[in-house]
């Protein structure tokens, strides 16, 4: 998979990865996983809330 970032986003990604002493690819994986898990949790909450 190839992901293209704007120069600003790429610089922010590299800076954060360096601060956290991680590879940029590992940080991208971690961030995407966190967002997807949060969205899944929100989807379940919205679904159960609409059943009431």
Segments of the chain with pLDDT less than 70: 47-52
- Check residue 47 and give its pLDDT: 66
- Check residue 43 and give its pLDDT: 81
Residue in the block written with tokens 């991208």? 28
Pairwise CA distance, residues 8 & 41, whole Å = 30
- Check residue 45 and give its pLDDT: 78
- Check residue 49 and give its pLDDT: 61
Question: According to DSSP H, which parts of the chain are helical?
Answer: 7-19, 24-50
């Amino acid at each position: 998979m190839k992901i293209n970032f704007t120069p600003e986003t790429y610089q922010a990604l590299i800076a954060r990865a360096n601060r956290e002493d991680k590879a940029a690819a590992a940080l991208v994986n971690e961030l995407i996983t966190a967002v997807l898990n949060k969205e899944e949790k929100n989807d379940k909450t919205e679904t159960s809330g609409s059943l009431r």
